[in-house]
């Protein structure tokens, strides 16, 4: 009936341009919405505003210099991005990472996952329309984690701390105590978010049943991470192909069942709790002293010719690094498999047919980092 009436009045669809300078495009993403009244009929995404050629730049640098650029591809979870890269280099060079360094890497990566998820909670909360409160909640917890990172690595976001073979330098002596302190504050932060959102009727009405994607479609789009798990696919690289010491850790893979915006939110909230558990186990198992680098490291790392693909579970999904070497001290080719880019593909599928306000929520629930999409 609606369509018939529309023909009678000769209506026109409206194109509105969302981004790259829009409060809720999470960076410099741009999408053009074709709307009919309040309903979205089409979504045309435009990416590339933040393209810096990070992969190509890495090909002109030696392995250590590349770390700084990897940090910048995924600025909300730089440790996870670094991890994929250094693991790829290690696999090529055949380096054995000392046990203690692996534990430290794991703790830092999980903490980084937590800080990234908190960032998601904050930004997503603002998308749903709460004025700033979730943002400050998320920021508050993230700040504690970042302060810890700063004490260890010296930088707040671009750590450049993982090195092929291990770590750049040892952690501070009060590392374990500080991590426990941060975990305590995180637990409070999770409780705050749970109270603010999970049962709130308006939040539930806004998010449940919105932006649905089925498990089959999600797999077809190559989605990964919490966005995929929310559709009920228990894919987690940490569980499927344990790297670092994940095999020795007992944790659950959180899945949703409905594949809507609420599940994507709720998966992340539960993953926060799961990460806290992982870190507690790591702290118990991590040795207090020990080497953080292999015994014999060359001054300039060279790798034998070969190629390797390493994937790890970053906060937004599978962060893969494909590295080709033809010998020498720099990559011949480096390709980053970004989870955000694949997840973003499903934007159209999820938001067509929804309301404009829902399209914003769907975009928020994918949790994109534009520097990772564009690289």
Question: Which has the closest alpha carbon to 215: 204, 223, 205, 207?
Answer: 223
Scanning residues 97 to 156, which ones bind another protein (CB under 8 A)?
Answer: 125-133, 135-137, 140, 143, 150-155
Contact indicator for 302, 327 with CB cutoff of 8 Å = yes
Distance from C-alpha of 192 to C-alpha of 198, rounded to nearest angstrom: 10
Scanning residues 297 to 316, which ones bind another protein (CB under 8 A)?
Answer: 297, 299
Contact indicator for 59, 141 with CB cutoff of 8 Å = no
Question: Which has the closest alpha carbon to 242: 317, 322, 311, 161?
Answer: 311
C-alpha triplet 100, 105, 106: angle, nearest 5°: 100
Residues 6+ away with beta carbon under 8 Å from 313: 80, 225, 236, 237, 238, 319
Pick the stretch among 57-65, 77-85, 266-274, 335-343 that binds another protein (CB under 8 A).
Answer: 57-65
Q: Does 11 bind another protein (CB under 8 A)?
A: no
Closest to another protein by CB, 143 vs 307, is: 143
Bridge-based pairing state of the strands 30-36 and 306-314: unpaired
Pick the stretch among 206-214, 219-227, 307-315, 325-333 that binds another protein (CB under 8 A).
Answer: 206-214
**How many residues of this chain bind another protein (CB under 8 A)?**
86
Closest to another protein by CB, 301 vs 344, is: 301
Closest to another protein by CB, 173 vs 250, is: 173
Contact indicator for 344, 317 with CB cutoff of 8 Å = no
Binding flags for another protein, 237-266, as an x/- string (CB under 8 A):
---------------------xxx------
Scanning residues 270 to 289, which ones bind another protein (CB under 8 A)?
Answer: none
Closest to another protein by CB, 158 vs 253, is: 158
Closest to another protein by CB, 139 vs 309, is: 139
Scanning residues 313 to 372, which ones bind another protein (CB under 8 A)?
Answer: 352-358, 360
For 164-248, strand residue ranges (E) read 166-167
Which of 61, 215, 253, 308 binds another protein (CB under 8 A)? It is 61
- Residue 325 main-chain phi, psi, to 5 deg: -125, 140
Which of 29, 69, 175, 243 binds another protein (CB under 8 A)? It is 69
Closest to another protein by CB, 158 vs 324, is: 158
Q: Does 169 bind another protein (CB under 8 A)?
A: yes
Give me 286's structure tokens: 């991590």
Q: Does 44 bind another protein (CB under 8 A)?
A: no
């Amino acid at each position: 009936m609606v369509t018939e009436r529309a023909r009678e009045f000769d209506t026109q669809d409206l194109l509105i341009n969302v981004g790259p300078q829009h409060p809720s495009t999470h960076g410099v993403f741009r999408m053009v919405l074709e709307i009919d009244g309040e309903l979205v009929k089409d979504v045309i995404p435009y990416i590339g505003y933040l393209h810096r050629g990070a992969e190509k730049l890495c090909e002109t640098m030696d392995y250590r210099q590349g770390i700084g650029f990897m940090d910048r591809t995924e600025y909300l979870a730089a440790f996870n991005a670094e991890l994929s890269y250094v693991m790829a280099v290690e696999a090529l060079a055949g380096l054995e990472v000392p046990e203690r360094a692996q534990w430290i890497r794991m703790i830092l990566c999980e903490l980084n996952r937590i800080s990234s998820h908190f960032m998601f909670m904050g930004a997503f909360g603002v998308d749903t329309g709460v004025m700033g409160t979730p943002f400050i909640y998320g920021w508050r917890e993230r700040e504690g984690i970042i302060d810890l990172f700063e004490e260890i690595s010296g930088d707040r976001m671009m750590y450049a701390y993982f090195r092929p073979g291990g770590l750049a330098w040892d952690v501070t002596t009060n590392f374990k105590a500080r991590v426990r302190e941060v975990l305590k504050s995180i637990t409070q932060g999770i409780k705050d978010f749970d109270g603010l959102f999970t049962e709130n009727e308006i939040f539930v009405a806004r998010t449940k049943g919105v932006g649905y994607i089925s498990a089959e479609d999600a797999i077809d789009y190559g989605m990964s991470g919490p966005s995929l798990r929310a559709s009920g696919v228990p894919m987690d690289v940490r569980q499927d192909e344990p790297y670092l010491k994940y095999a020795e850790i007992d944790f659950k893979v959180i899945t949703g069942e409905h594949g809507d915006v609420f599940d994507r939110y709720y998966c992340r909230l539960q993953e926060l709790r799961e990460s806290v558990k992982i870190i507690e186990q790591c702290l118990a198992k991590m040795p207090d002293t020990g080497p953080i680098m292999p015994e014999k490291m060359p001054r300039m790392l060279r790798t034998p010719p070969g190629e390797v693909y390493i994937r790890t579970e970053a906060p937004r999904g599978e962060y893969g690094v494909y590295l080709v070497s033809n010998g020498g001290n720099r990559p011949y080719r480096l390709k980053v498999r970004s989870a955000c880019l694949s997840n973003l593909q499903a934007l159209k599928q999820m938001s067509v047919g929804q309301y404009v306000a829902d399209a914003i929520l769907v975009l928020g629930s994918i949790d994109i980092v534009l520097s990772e999409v564009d690289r």
